[in-house]
Structure 1
Amino acid sequence: MKLNTNSNAYIIIYSAVMVVIVAFLLAFVYQALKPMQDANVALDVKKQILYSLNIRNLDGAEAEAKYAEVVKTEKEDENNGQKAYECQIDGKNITVVSLKGMGLWGGISGYLAIDEEGKVYGAYFNHEGETAGLGAEIKDSQAWQEKFIGKKIWDENGNVVLSVVKKVEDPATQVDCVTGATLTSNGVDAMLKDGLKGFQTYAIGRMLETVANTDSTKVVEE
């Protein structure tokens, strides 16, 4: 019996078989590449953390080695998934905190490095789809990220005073927004406020611990 390739039954069966074969091949390729993809994602996270520590321009192997050298511990908040990385650079204790928020066209994220005095040691921000040359500058402009260095984060009462504004009136705590990207800049400001507010208890505890350890060292030396 000759197979009728023009019949509806043949077309349906043929299409179904092809769908199953293609789905199987895609699933196989995904599973085969997943370990490599996961490794690339993990490396990208490590590089972003290093960027916030003002360590840039490293290839994959160099970034892995540097991350292992400076990042000592990693902690995660069980309630919101916010992470803190305890680091040591040139004898200084630096804490890097992860941040997440919303920009103009999608999610934004970042890492903020905090020194022993509660000031910004370094910053790095990322985005999912902000406009190139405008909102995307939060990621692409190293110069803008470096404006955060040295800024005070909390006031004496533990309130977050670090902010992104259209007009800087307090250079000790404020960073001017990205030109032409007010809404994205507002998203960064809100992300800082939300993320650092939830982190202040931990950070202040770390600062007090550092001060206590420093005083103890002085007593021993004397």
Structure 2
Amino acid sequence: MEEKSVNKTNSNGYTFLFAVIMVLVVASVLAFTATSLQPIQRENVRQEKMQSILATIGVETDRAGAEELYNQYITEAVTLNQKGNVKEDVDAFTVDLAKELKKEPIDQNYPLYIANYEGSKYYIVPLRGNGLWNAIFGYISLKDDVNTIKGATFDHLGETPGLGAEITKEWFRKSFENEKIFDSNGNLIGVSVVKGDIDPSDKGDNKVDAISGATITGDGVSDMISERLQRYLPYFKQQTEIKVATK
């Protein structure tokens, strides 16, 4: 009986030691793999960001071709302060809106991308706001009158599939094309996502049709568009070549 007890004790100890070693080995492998993949993941994110920016002006591409087309069509990338002045020491592409929105507006950096595509000039503004469950974000491009939307892209961190997550769909994004962001009095009000009988051909009503069952996400899209665009008014007012009068 004593010998069996000793063998059982030894067996349990061996099993425990083996389990500890395996946990350490697996953890080390996973940590090494995660560290090794970080540069690839960062590059993928960088290319996908270029894809999203380009998509707002109608340039569709895969990740592999994004950088070449970005360099071809994005002629400027500037960072503005609250007064609309360019900050020479801040790289617009590296500005993290998630961090910026935690600051007071006076301390925020406002990245702006300027594109020239098929002979036309576009201003591309990054967006970020709150959906139902988490952050929503994207880009919106304005034609050279800074009143007419060329295109928009939206994404999210946790909206409901089939409901709020529909903001990523082409049909929703395309509903913003050629909508105006100023009202008839020259006040910037953005574009509202609203329920009701919306005429998609009326591009001067500052409205697009809402997603059924996703009211809060739609309100988040409306809010982030108007809030973010308001921050760029000081810059647009300084541009003498802009055709529309802004208030």
Shorter-normalised TM-score: what interval?
A: 0.7 to 0.9
Map 1:74-113 → 2, pairs under 5 A: 74-77=77-80, 79-113=107-141
Map 1:130-149 → 2, pairs under 5 A: 130-140=159-169, 142-149=170-177
CA distance in 1, matches of 2:76, 2:115: 7
Return the TM-score normalized by structure 2. Answer: 0.73
Fraction of identical pairs, as percent: 33
SS in 2 for 1:117: coil
Please say if residues 158 and 200 of structure 1, whose CA atoms lie closer than 8 Å, have aligned partners that are also in contact: no
Please say if residues 188 and 226 of structure 2, whose CA atoms lie closer than 8 Å, have aligned partners that are also in contact: no
Unaligned regions of 5+ residues in structure 2, if any? 1-6, 82-106
Unaligned regions of 5+ residues in structure 1, if any? 212-222
CA distance in 2, matches of 1:198, 1:127: 22
Superposed CA deviations along residues 147-172 of structure 1, whole A, max 9, x for unmatched, are 21112113455432422222348741
Map 1:107-186 → 2, pairs under 5 A: 107-118=135-146, 119-140=148-169, 142-155=170-183, 156=185, 158-167=187-196, 168=198, 171-172=203-204, 173-186=206-219
How many residues are treated as equivalent by the alignment? Answer: 205
Is 1:203 the counterpart of 2:231 in the alignment?
Answer: no
Residue number among 59, 64, 75 corresponding to 1:72 in the alignment: 75
Shift of 1:178: 1.5
Is 1:4 the counterpart of 2:37 in the alignment?
Answer: no
2:12 partner amino acid:
N
Distance 1:28 1:188, change over 3 A: same
Please say if residues 191 and 225 of structure 2, whose CA atoms lie closer than 8 Å, have aligned partners that are also in contact: yes
Q: Which residue of 2 aligns with 1:218?
A: none
Return the TM-score normalized by structure 1. Answer: 0.80
CA distance in 2, matches of 1:112, 1:201: 18
Is 1:44 the counterpart of 2:48 in the alignment?
Answer: yes
CA distance in 2, matches of 1:11, 1:202: 68
CA distance in 2, matches of 1:203, 1:19: 58
2:177 partner amino acid:
I
Q: Which residue of 1 aligns with 2:93?
A: none
